[in-house]
Amino acid sequence: MPHTVSEDYMSEKELLPVINEEGEFIRLAPRNECHNGKSMLLHPVVHLHIINDRGEIFLQKRSVTKDIQPGKWDTSVGGHVDPGESVEEALRREAMEEAGIDDLHYEFIEKYIWQSDREREMVHSFYTRRSNEPETDPGEIDEGRFWSRSEIEEALDSGTFTPNFEYEYRQVLKACLI
């Protein structure tokens, strides 16, 4: 899908922290350089899985205007860690921006390096339990809803979800979170 002028401009202007495999800051790089499929510059991101009291996971459908995995169902909340921001600050900011959560209580799942054909990320994965449906921002995501374990398992490996979500879903199950 072609990008708009403003998306290309923002991708050039948004700076991301580049880190080493120990998570130590190296330098700043433009977002489009981190996502160009050539540099594979490691940069930190946060993911938050929202799980309700029925064991369902809230998923967001990525906007069709996203440059990576447009239109696919993905982690409840996810985003880049901004320069100078801690992982916890990024998690709280993204939870507020994407799900309207301002009183976040969370548990750590794991930290791992995810590599796709476009980018390389150090993912800091967390979960939270909430009974109410998040208030999603239509500027951030196309739609969102809770998915049951059986719905997710029926759709695994079908192209419905981002590959990164499928990996994390399997990790969430291993951790007995749902």
Report pTM: 0.89
Structure tokens at 11: 């991708």
Helix (H) or strand (E) holding 125: strand 120-129
Token pair listed for 74 = 């993905």
- Asked if pLDDT for residue 177 goes beyond 70, the answer is no
End-to-end alpha carbon distance in the chain: 35
Which secondary structure element, helix H or strand E, spans residue 31, and what is its range? helix 31-34
pLDDT score of 4: 42
pLDDT of residue 5: 40
pLDDT in tens, 51-72: 999 999 999 998 888 888 989 9
Q: Assign 31 a pLDDT band (cuts: 50, 70, 90).
A: very high
Domain range list for the chain? 5-174
Q: Quick one: DSSP state of residue 71?
A: T
Show Cβ contacts of residue 80 under 8 Å, excluding neighbours closer than 6 positions.
16, 31, 43, 44, 45, 90
Residue 53's closest CA among 137, 135, 148, 126? 148
Exposed/middle/buried for residue 78 (C-beta within 10 Å: 0-12, 13-18, 19+): buried
Asked whether the CA dihedral 85, 86, 91, 92 is positive or negative, the reply is negative
CA atoms within 13 A on the CB side of 20: 4
Report the CATH fold assignment for 5-174.
Nucleoside Triphosphate Pyrophosphohydrolase (3.90.79)
Q: What is the DSSP letter of 161?
A: B
| pLDDT of 3 | 42
